[in-house]
Each structure stands twice: as structure tokens, then as C-alpha cells.
Amino acid sequence: MKITKDEYNKALEFLKNNLNEHDTVFYIVKNVSNSGMYRHIDFYTFKVKDVFEEGENRVQKVWLSGAISKVLGYPLKEKTQSLGVSGCGMNMGFAVIYNLAEVLFGDGYKLNDEGL
């Protein structure tokens, strides 16, 4: 999937607006191929609002997979709305988050990861 420079910049801006150094990015492995070499992984962060109305959710889920797909070049799988990630022998959720932190902050360890 080829994206334009404008789409890349908007996705990068979205990620920079929603992630700060040392934030935790949560991931869910939604599907694993039979060979174990390919998986669909979905990425989120959560924001806690200081001011909120009665009945309104104080915790907001922020979906990151679409923007990460554009910035890091992973395919966004339509069926699961998750990143298609190949590889094995390591935590691939961590690998994506490490690469994301490298792009955003110049250091792969500036974001925390947690599997759900």
C-alpha cells in the first residue's frame, strides 16, 4: 500500500499528539498464522481525562494501528483492522513498539509495551 507524504505526516502528527516518552502502548495479537510466522497485532494507548461529565467515560481508548501502519509501513489488515507483522523468535508486539519509539523519539526504549 503506497501512501502520500501528506498521509504519512498526518499519521506521524497523530502519533506525536497521542504518545509521550515513557507512555505504554498496549497490543493485542488477534490472529496467528498456522506456521507462527505471521500475525495480526492491534495497538492502543489509553488516556485518562482529568475533567469529564457525569456518564462520560473517564478513560479513552486511542486506536494507533492505522497511524502506525502508515508511519512504519506495515500492512493494515482489513479483516482485523490490525497490523500484519511477520517474524518469529521474539515478541513482535515489542518489536513494532520499539521501531515506533525509534521514529518518534530517536530511542526504541522511550515507549513501554504491554500485551493484553
**pLDDT tens digit string along 37-78?**
899 999 999 988 777 778 778 888 999 999 999 999 999 999
**What is the predicted pLDDT for the residue at 83?**
93
**92-105 pLDDT, tens per residue?**
999 999 999 999 99
Do residues 85 and 72 touch, judged by C-beta distance below 8 A?
no
Instruction: Quote the domain boundaries for residue 101.
Output: 5-115
Counted domains in the chain: 1
Integer Cα distance of 96 and 54 in angstroms: 37
pTM surpassing 0.85?
yes
Q: Give dist(CA 40, CA 31) in Å, integer.
A: 5
Is residue 89 scored above 90 in pLDDT?
no
pLDDT at 42: 97
Q: How confident is the model at residue 26 (pLDDT cuts 50, 70, 90)?
A: very high
Instruction: Match 515478541 to its residue by C-alpha cell.
Output: 91
- Cβ neighbors of 104 (< 8 A, separation 6 or more) are 12, 15, 16, 19, 110, 111
**pLDDT band with cut points at 50, 70 and 90 for residue 107:** very high
